[in-house]
């Protein structure tokens, strides 16, 4: 994935845990959040990623998905 000049490799999907249901400010639990993630995204709503080329990301930078070879990733 390219964001401006930054290149991020995408490893795989990550499942969500019960902590997703807690509001970080109030600690009030809303189980509907996790239920919705399971319903809409089969329980996965995050990506395990790694930096290929670092840099600054700015508001307005273009985000593009690229094929593995286009990123120059050599991650096992």
Given pLDDT bands bounded at 50, 70 and 90, which one contains residue 38?
Answer: confident
Q: According to the model, what pLDDT value does residue 71 have?
A: 54
Q: Would you state the pLDDT for residue 6?
A: 95
What is the three-class DSSP state of 52? strand
Q: Please determine, for residue 24, whether its predicted confidence score (pLDDT) is greater than 70.
A: yes
For the chain, the domains span: 2-71
Tokens 């094929």 map to which residue?
A: 67
Q: Residue 38's closest CA among 55, 23, 53, 17? A: 17
pTM exceeds cut of 0.85:
no
Q: Give the residue among 11, 13, 4, 27 at the shortest CA–CA distance from 74.
A: 11
Q: Where are the beta strands (DSSP E) in 1-76?
A: 2-3, 6-15, 44-53, 63-64
């Amino acid at each position: 994935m390219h964001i401006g000049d930054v290149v991020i490799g995408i490893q795989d999907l990550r499942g969500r845990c019960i902590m997703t249901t807690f509001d970080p400010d109030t600690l009030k639990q809303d189980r509907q959040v996790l239920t919705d993630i399971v319903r809409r995204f089969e329980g996965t709503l995050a990506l395990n990623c790694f930096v290929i080329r670092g840099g600054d990301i700015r508001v307005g930078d273009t985000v593009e998905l690229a094929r593995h070879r286009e990123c120059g990733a050599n991650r096992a």
